Amino acid sequence: MKGKMVLKWMNRIVSTILLVLLIGVAGLVVSTKLAGGEPQIFGYQIKTVLSGSMEPYIQTGSLIAVKTLDSDEKKNLKADDVITFMETQDKLVTHRIIDVKQTADTVLYTTQGDNNNGPDREPVLAENVVASYQGFTIPYLGYIASFAQSPNGSLVFFVLPGLLMVGYSFFSIMMAIRKMDVNQNNKPADTN
């Protein structure tokens, strides 16, 4: 009897883990699509750090949370803030502000990676600032996130949990059928 209870609880735990994993991955995919390619949770975007320019403050391969900024917030940043900005059309960079210059039209930020020898070549226009870093980092998880966004990663992180869920459901159904067969065979024969 005790073994059956343990098996029942194990069944519930495995089912719950697989379901949560499947829903979590599906939620991340939907969030990514709705945010235009970047996962966003409660106004924070999740970014993967691909270089060592901010080490040791932010390690290569880390996931970081950055807060998206409105146009007023973009103009009110100060030295020592860590920002994520558009360096080119398809390249985001996260570096520290080391100097702020106000012009008649805009604000210019001089930035530098903590691990770099000198400031970045071009100042950053306030309009090109995307977000500010809020100090939340998960080391090494960025490697997994980058892989998850690749075609092979999508297959592993989206299709595999679904297949595991289907396989586990099939296994559970087969066990229930087997149990019904055993119960059917153990019934006393009708003697009419």
> What are the tokens at 45?
């975007």
> Helix (H, G, I), strand (E, B), or coil: what is residue 112?
strand
> What are the tokens at 34?
């709705």
Strand partners, 125: 108
Residues 6+ apart with CB under 8 A from 21: 161
Picking from 109, 107, 112, 84, the residue whose alpha carbon sits closest to that of residue 96 is 112
Instruction: Give me the residue label for tokens 């396989």.
Output: 167
Query: Which residues are known to be catalytic?
Result: 51
Residues 86 and 130: their CA atoms lie apart, in Å, by 7
Alpha-helical regions (H) of 35-105: 71-75
Whether the CB-CB separation of 111 and 53 falls below 8 Å is answered with: no
